[in-house]
């Protein structure tokens, strides 16, 4: 009996099985990546619909979502806490600002963040008239985007962790919102939270 024929047949069979296994593994990874992109795109579409709906129902000129994220590290090893605009909805004739609202430091806008988080009262940043704001930094930040009135609410998880902020701006005129709009925005923040986590 010739052992070389048996041995070479076993090597060919083993190589074939291994190559089929590797091919299936690579194909599975590729399908997972495509499924991930599809899920991510669907999530983005749903968040955008919620932001569009919020803007439309409140008759705001601009609505947008900030998400919190880690930034770079300081020499001390502490992380820079940052937030960036990830979704935006605009009325006709209103400037898009999302690309300019990236990697904003929480420490720079701590007064704004504290109001949104409810550290000094209700979980709401309420600015009915930009002229009434005391902070020159915050006034300039809002004024350079043409904002006359601004409202911001936290986007919270079920465990009350804050993952983002939903904001609405009025650029054409000073506008006060009422309980109906506040409830609508808070409900939209809950819906958006489900997609962001």
What is the pLDDT at residue 2? 66
Q: CB atoms < 10 A from the CB of 57, how many?
A: 15
Instruction: Outline where DSSP puts E strands in 34-105.
Output: 62-73, 79-90, 104-105
Per DSSP, the three-state class of 135 is coil
48-102: pLDDT as tens digits: 999 999 999 999 999 999 999 987 878 888 888 999 999 999 999 999 999 999 9
Whether 1 shows a pLDDT value over 70: the answer reads no
In this prediction, residue 47 has a pLDDT band, given cuts at 50, 70 and 90, of very high
**Average pLDDT of the residues in 173-191:** 95
What is the pLDDT at residue 32? 64
Angle between helices 179-196 and 3-58 (to 10 degrees): 170
The answer to whether the CB of 96 falls within 8 A of the CB of 88 is yes
What is the pLDDT at residue 33? 61
Domains of the chain with bracketed CATH: 36-196 (3.30.450.40)
Residue with tokens 């300081």: 74
In this prediction, residue 185 has a pLDDT band, given cuts at 50, 70 and 90, of very high
In this prediction, residue 39 has a pLDDT band, given cuts at 50, 70 and 90, of confident
Cα–Cα distance between 167 and 54 in angstroms, integer?
9
Helix, strand, coil fractions of the chain, as percent rounded to 5? 50, 25, 30
User: Encoding tokens for residue 34?
Assistant: 């495509």
Cα–Cα distance between 162 and 67 in angstroms, integer?
9
Q: CB atoms < 10 A from the CB of 113, how many?
A: 22
Residue with tokens 């902020």: 165
What is the pLDDT at residue 52? 97
| pTM of the predicted protein model | 0.79
């Amino acid at each position: 009996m010739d052992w070389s024929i048996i041995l070479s047949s076993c090597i060919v069979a083993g190589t074939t099985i291994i190559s089929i296994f590797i091919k299936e593994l690579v194909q599975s990874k590729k399908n997972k990546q495509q499924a991930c992109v599809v899920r991510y795109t669907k999530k983005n579409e749903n968040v955008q619909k919620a932001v569009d709906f919020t803007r439309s129902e409140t008759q705001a000129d601009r609505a947008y979502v900030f998400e919190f994220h880690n930034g770079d590290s300081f020499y001390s090893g502490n992380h820079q806490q940052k937030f960036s605009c990830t979704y935006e909805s605009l009325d006709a004739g209103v400037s898009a600002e999302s690309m300019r609202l990236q990697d904003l430091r929480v420490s720079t806008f701590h007064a704004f963040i504290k109001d949104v988080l409810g550290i000094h009262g209700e979980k709401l940043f309420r600015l009915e008239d930009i002229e009434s704001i005391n902070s020159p930094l915050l006034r300039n930040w809002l004024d350079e985007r043409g904002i006359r009135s601004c409202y911001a609410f936290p986007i919270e998880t079920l465990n009350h962790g804050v993952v983002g902020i939903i904001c609405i701006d009025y650029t054409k005129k000073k506008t006060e919102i009422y309980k109906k709009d506040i409830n609508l925005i808070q409900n939209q923040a809950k819906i958006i939270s489900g997609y962001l986590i």
